């Protein structure tokens, strides 16, 4: 009989044998920036998460800096929405102003910007709309404009989350032509149409006004198709590939890790966070242990980068 338990006898040998270890740099922390002044709005369905106006951002940026995490991911919430999402690529849009503010006050923080129109459009869809249809090719120039305008403010990385076909190639070309050949793209490549985004849509005011996102986000039943989406984004020149959500899709993440030689990210989304927080608030689970187990599983499955609302807590628990 082989005795596996020899290497589990006490904490010292267990910690030597540990295969997967979390590090603060693994994490990217999403931040919601809202137009207005002196705002720190709690997001009800995401305990511990707030919408900040720019003048209140420092409070959370200090914590980010202190935690030494990899970076932040910015989501802007504009006051004005229109069918074209014009505030997404306005020079003085909320996200543009937020990036400039952070760059000036916290140049050491790595800033990823989400590239998508749904927070900025009056209909709440991620692209241009004609009747009930979400247009693909007509949307691409707007995504390019958004990426370039944020690159101009000093954002470090662009993360397109819209799921239009061909957007990685379009954004890469647009960034290159504007002189931002060094700005990496992290594509939400395998992004599934998921009920797990519910709390985010409260936080970012981005719920679709009609219908759903199933004509552009993926069917959660499809693992093969996820690999084809990823292959296409690599072909189009993405630097990093993301799978989203995380927990119900670790098979996709693992499969991607075995299939492709490309850095992988995973997005531990709002609904996953909300479930943990709700159960923990009820005393039904041990929050710290559950969070560390979940995040370690994501890294074990192959994620180089974990985008998570737990980031600041997790750093304290490592
Ligand atoms: C915007 C976007 C969404 C998320 C990230 N970027 C919402 C959506 O696609 O509806 C979800 C993040 C989360 O749930 O935490 N397209
Ligand atoms: Zn969107």
What confidence score (pLDDT) does residue 209 get?
Answer: 94
HSE-CB for 133 with a 13 A CA cutoff: 6
Distance 127 CA to ligand 2 centre (A): 8
What is the percent of the chain with per-residue pLDDT over 70, rounded to a whole number? 100
What confidence score (pLDDT) does residue 183 get?
Answer: 98
Note the pLDDT tens digit of each residue in 110-149.
999 999 999 999 999 999 999 999 999 999 999 999 999 9
Cα torsion angle, 129, 269, 183, 303, sign? negative
* Distance from C-alpha of 93 to C-alpha of 90, rounded to nearest angstrom: 5
Distance 241 CA to ligand 2 centre (A): 17
- The pairing of strands 27-34 and 71-77 is parallel
The token pair at 173 is 């070309």
The token pair at 209 is 């006004």
Direct distance between the N- and C-terminal alpha carbons of the chain, in angstroms, rounded to an integer: 35
Q: How confident is the model at residue 38 (pLDDT cuts 50, 70, 90)?
A: very high
What confidence score (pLDDT) does residue 296 get?
Answer: 98
Task: For ligand 1, say whether the CB of 200 is within 6 Å of any of its atoms.
Answer: yes
Supply the residue whose CA is at minimum distance from atom 2 of ligand 1.
161
How far, in Å, are 1, 178, 244 from residue 271 at the CA level? 44, 37, 12
What confidence score (pLDDT) does residue 52 get?
Answer: 98
Mean pLDDT of all residues in 91-99? 98
**Residues ≥6 apart with Cβ < 8 Å to 162:** 115, 116, 117, 118, 126, 127, 139, 143, 188, 216
* Distance from C-alpha of 103 to C-alpha of 205, rounded to nearest angstrom: 25
Token match 């679709």: residue? 208
User: Could you tell me the pTM of the whole model?
Assistant: 0.97
Q: How confident is the model at residue 318 (pLDDT cuts 50, 70, 90)?
A: very high
Least confident stretch, 172-176, 207-211, 272-276: 207-211
Task: State the CB neighbour count (10 A cutoff) for residue 300.
Answer: 14
Q: Are 47 and 2 in contact (CB under 8 A)?
A: no
Task: For ligand 1, say whether the CB of 121 is within 6 Å of any of its atoms.
Answer: no
Please report which residue ranges of the chain form alpha helices under DSSP H.
11-17, 57-67, 94-105, 140-153, 167-177, 198-204, 224-235, 250-259, 270-281, 287-300, 311-317
The residues carrying an active-site annotation are 191, 244
Distance 193 CA to ligand 1 centre (A): 10
Please choose from 115, 164, 197 the residue to mutate so as to test ligand 1's pocket, defined by most ligand atoms within 8 A of CB.
Answer: 197
Mean pLDDT of all residues in 81-87? 97
* Distance from C-alpha of 298 to C-alpha of 268, rounded to nearest angstrom: 9
Task: For ligand 1, say whether the CB of 161 is within 6 Å of any of its atoms.
Answer: yes
| Burial of 66 per CB tally in 10 Å (0-12, 13-18, 19+) | exposed
Please choose from 28, 74, 88, 116 the residue to mutate so as to test ligand 1's pocket, defined by most ligand atoms within 8 A of CB.
Answer: 116
Classify 36 in phi/psi space as left (phi over 0), alpha (psi -120 to 50) or beta: left
What confidence score (pLDDT) does residue 269 get?
Answer: 98
Atom from ligand 1 closest to the CA of residue 119: 1
What confidence score (pLDDT) does residue 98 get?
Answer: 98
């Amino acid at each position: 009989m082989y005795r596996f338990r020899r290497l589990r006898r006490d904490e010292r040998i267990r910690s030597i044998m540990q295969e997967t270890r979390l590090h603060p740099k693994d994490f990217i922390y999403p931040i919601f920036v809202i137009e207005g002044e002196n705002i720190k709005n709690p997001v009800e369905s995401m305990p511990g998460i707030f919408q900040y106006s720019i003048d209140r951002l420092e409070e959370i940026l200090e914590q980010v800096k202190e935690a030494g995490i990899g970076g932040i991911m910015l989501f802007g919430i504009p006051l004005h929405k229109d069918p074209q999402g014009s505030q997404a690529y306005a020079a003085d849009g909320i996200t543009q102003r937020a990036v400039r503010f952070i760059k000036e006050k916290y140049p050491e923080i790595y800033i990823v910007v989400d590239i998508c129109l749904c927070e900025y459009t009056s209909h709440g869809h991620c692209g241009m709309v004609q009747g009930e249809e979400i247009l693909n090719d007509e949307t691409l120039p707007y995504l390019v404009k958004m990426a370039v305008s944020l690159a101009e403010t000093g954002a470090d990385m662009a993360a397109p989350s819209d799921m239009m076909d061909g957007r990685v190639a379009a954004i890469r070309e647009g960034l290159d032509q504007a002189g931002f050949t060094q700005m990496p793209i992290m594509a939400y490549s395998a992004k599934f149409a998921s009920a797990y985004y519910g709390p985010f849509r409260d936080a970012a005011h981005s719920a679709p006004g009609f219908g759903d996102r199933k004509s552009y986000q993926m069917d959660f039943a499809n693992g093969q198709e996820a690999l084809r989406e990823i292959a296409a984004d690599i072909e189009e020149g993405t630097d990093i590939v993301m799978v989203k959500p995380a927990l119900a899709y670790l098979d996709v993440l693992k499969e991607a890790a075995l299939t492709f030689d490309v850095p992988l990210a995973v997005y531990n989304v709002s609904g996953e966070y909300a479930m943990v927080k709700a159960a923990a608030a009820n005393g039904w689970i041990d929050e710290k242990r559950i969070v560390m187990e979940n995040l370690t599983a994501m890294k074990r499955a192959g994620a180089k980068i974990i985008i998570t609302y737990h980031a600041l807590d997790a750093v304290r628990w490592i």
